[in-house]
Amino acid sequence: MTGEVDNNGARGPMDVRRVMAALPHRYPMLLIDRVVSLVPNQSIHAIKAVSVNEPFFQGHFPTRPIMPGVLIVEAMAQAAGVLAVESMDLADSGKLVYFMSIDGAKFRSPVEPGCLLDLHVEVTQNRGAICKFTGKAMIDGKLVSEANFVAMISDPPKD
C-alpha cells in the first residue's frame, strides 16, 4: 500500500491505482477515488468525488441530478472490499469480494454533483472469508446514508 503507517497501524493515503489493485471495478463502476486511511481488520475512510459527468446523472434526474441510493451503498461496499482485500494482503491476487446481504439501508439527504462523499466503513464481524460491515456516507460531516452489509471473499467464477 502506498502512504504512511501511523502508531495505531493506520495506513494511508491510498491513490486510485492502489484502489484498482484491490478491486476489479473500473469506470464507470469504480466508485472509490482514494482512501484517506485504513486500519487493517477494523475500518476504512474512503472518498468518492461526485462529478456531474457521472453517466447515471443523465437519467437520474436530468433536471435535478441526484446520485442513486443504490450507488451510494455500492460505494460503501467497494470501500469495504478495499478494507477486506488490504487486511488480508490479497491485492492483485484475483480474489473478489461479493455482496451477500444489505440491511438497514437509510438515505437521509440527496447526494448531488460537486460533493465529496466521505465513506466510513467498519468491520463488525470477521469470520475469515465472510465479513460483516457497517457503513456511513457523509458530506461535510453530515450523515447522508448508512447501511449494514455482509460480503464474501472468493475466487472468481471459472470460465
Structural domain including 129 reads: 4-154
Query: How far from chain centre, in Å, is Cα 14?
Result: 13
Half-sphere exposure of 141 (CA within 13 A, CB side): 0
CA torsion sign for 127, 131, 136, 137 is: positive
Q: What is the per-residue DSSP string for 132-146?
A: EEEEEEEETTEEEEE
Distance between CA atoms of residues 131 and 37, nearest Å: 19
How much is the pTM? 0.92
Pull the grid cell for residue 17: 491505482
Dihedral of alpha carbons 102, 108, 111, 114, sign: negative
pLDDT value for 1: 42
pLDDT tens by residue, 87-142 = 999 888 888 999 999 999 999 999 999 999 999 999 999 998 999 999 999 999 99
Residue 85 in any domain: the answer is: yes
Whether 146 is covered by a domain: the verdict is yes
* Residues annotated as catalytic (active site), given as ranges: 60
Asked, for residue 28, whether it belongs to a domain, the answer is yes
Task: Report how far residue 54's alpha carbon sits from residue 73's, in angstroms, rounded to the nearest whole number.
Answer: 16
Q: What is the pLDDT of residue 2?
A: 46
Greatest CA separation found in the chain?
Answer: 48
CB of 24 closer than 8 Å to CB of 85: no
CATH number at residue 20: 3.10.129.10
Asked if 96 and 153 count as a contact pair (C-beta separation under 8 A), the reply is yes
User: Is residue 159 in a domain?
Assistant: no
Q: How far apart are the C-alpha atoms of 109 and 86, rounded to whole Å? A: 31
Number of compact structural domains in the chain: 1
Domain membership flag for residue 114 = yes
In a domain, 62, yes or no: yes
Q: What are 125's strand-pairing partners?
A: 132
136, part of any domain: yes
pLDDT (average), residues 56-68: 94
What is the H or E stretch that residue 16 is in? helix 16-22
Q: Please, what is the Cα angle at 18 between 14 and 23, to 5 degrees?
A: 120
